[in-house]
Amino acid sequence: MVNVRLLLEKLEFNVSVVLGPIIRINPTEVHICDPDFYDTIYTSSAPFDKLKEWKYRFGLPDSVHATVEHDLHHHRRIALNPYFSKRQIYFLAPYIQERATKLANRLANEYRSSTKPVVMNDAWATYTADVVTYYCFAWSWDFVGYPDFVAPFTATTTSLASLAHISWHFAWLNLFFQSLPDMVLGVVYPTMKPIIDLQQAVEKQVISIKSGSNIAQKDLAHRTIFHSLLTSNLPPQELEVDRLRQEGSSIVGAGVETTKSTLTLATFYILKNPKYLQRLRKELKQVFPDPNKPPELSELEQLPFLTATIRECEYLLNILNSQPLVLLLQTFYINDNSLHQWTALRLSGGVAQRLPRISRTPIQYSTYTIPHGVPISMSAYIQHRDERIFPSSKTFNPDRWIDPTEERHLSRYLVSFSKGTRMCLGVNLAWAEMYIGLATIFRRVELELFETESDAVDMGREYFVPLPKKGSKGVRVLVK
């Protein structure tokens, strides 16, 4: 039997067949490869729906993320937008810093000079999970305090993602599993156990907030998402416990996995490149002279090299986290004038799939008129791989973001959080976690990689989100 993956990897896009920047990748869907067209599809100025087939694949059909219709999505999203604004995230920043400080303290006190490696995938997952659950429910599970940073909820997102393709192609299986009592489902399908635990915990928190028994909100500097939703102008059916449970599960799942992946990737490449590690530490000392007195988030946001490092890792996450087999749906593209010979057969990471959108009116691309109702998709991976925009696209190079003029140009094509009305809800929260997390760890703790190579951050499996190859031990470090 032919190993399709190895065959595709060997091809490395050196092909003679030229299909152009727009192709039909299946009987009903069109894919476009043109960075300048991205803002047309992923826009805030026109209504676009999502694929109905993708609504049920995570078992959260009534969450904002899974909402198909533009109008309903708009109403649900409007209710959440204020609580993810930059202003609201500033109120949360002291808690984010407290979690980062606890993580740094544990690394320094429990692992310094130890021969026991720390898996940074797990450590960063506990950090991001603590932040998003506290923000949602005004209560924390203190995942950062778990032994070896292994917490049940942080494994849940991977378990949920592993069902994405099955639920898409066999939607009836998802409905069948949802019809089973939780106790029975946990026995019949053990992979679902952490998902069940997460959703039960979320439902319990929603009920306690709705009943008024969760009074932690009164002592907080920020308003929590669900306290605010329950006092919003949303109609009663939008505030039912089951819908809010789905919303909570969706936000928690997304809030853990994607930011954790970027922080893990950043840790690997910073430690892999000593010259960048030295520059980062030198810059951090300027605003962080006393390791025990962290600066404000607003000060960290002004640091050019830290900002450039985060941007480069966002960008690289979409380059390195990829899956050759998915290329069967992406195929090969060239610009109208010149052939792009990509250096690797990989699809985007962050969200490691194309993102189809459906227009309610015809869309014009070049000489092609795409009828309304036809799914149109684009890929962050292919966009971030365009050598005309990102030269040496596989190379970790934060310096490409340092020059302000060049940074503005590149940022136009950086779509790690997507764009438009359906762009990532938690973009400001993610940036705050990355600024505070990376600054605190690399100012407070000296780390070195332990038996870790690039395959720990390269995607070996694609389950909507990128996952490393099966059996990967993750990005492991020793604390010096």
Average pLDDT of 105-132?
A: 93
Name the most confidently modeled range: 193-197, 346-350, 411-415, 432-436.
432-436
pLDDT at residue number 315: 63
What does the pLDDT read at residue 136? 84
Percent of the chain with pLDDT over 70: 82
pLDDT band at 352 (very low <50, low <70, confident <90, very high): low
Q: Is the pLDDT of residue 83 over 80?
A: yes
pLDDT at 176: 80
Q: State residue 307's pLDDT score.
A: 94
Between 105 and 390, residue with greater pLDDT: 105
pLDDT in the model for residue 364: 96
Span 374-396, pLDDT tens digits: 999 998 877 887 888 888 887 88
| pLDDT band at residue 67 under the 50/70/90 scheme | very high
The pLDDT-based confidence of 465 (bands split at 50, 70, 90) is low
Question: Where residue 256 falls among pLDDT bands split at 50, 70, 90?
Answer: confident
Which two tokens mark 475?
């990005």
Give the lowest-confidence range in 6-10, 35-39, 54-58, 66-70: 6-10
Higher pLDDT, residue 146 or 353: 146
pLDDT value at residue 32: 92
pLDDT tens, residue by residue, 21-36:
898 888 999 999 899 9
Winning range, highest mean pLDDT, from 59-63, 187-191, 313-317, 469-473: 59-63
- Whose CA is closest to 200, among 241, 228, 232? 241
Q: Check whether 478 has a pLDDT greater than 90.
A: yes
394 vs 443, residue with greater confidence: 443
pLDDT of 333 > 50? The answer is: no
Q: What's the whole-model pTM score?
A: 0.86
Tell me: pLDDT of 13 over 70: no
Count CB-CB contacts under 10 A for residue 254.
21
With bands split at pLDDT 50, 70 and 90, how would you rate the model's confidence at 145? very high
Query: How confident is the model at residue 104, as a pLDDT?
Result: 97
Give the residue from 111, 407, 428, 468 showing the smallest Cα distance to 264: 468
Across the chain, what does the average pLDDT equal?
81
pLDDT at site 361: 95
pLDDT at position 215 is 65
464 or 181: whose pLDDT is higher? 181
Residue 12 pLDDT exceeds 60: no
Q: b/e for 294-310, b at 16 or more Cβ within 10 A?
A: bbebeebeebebbbbbb
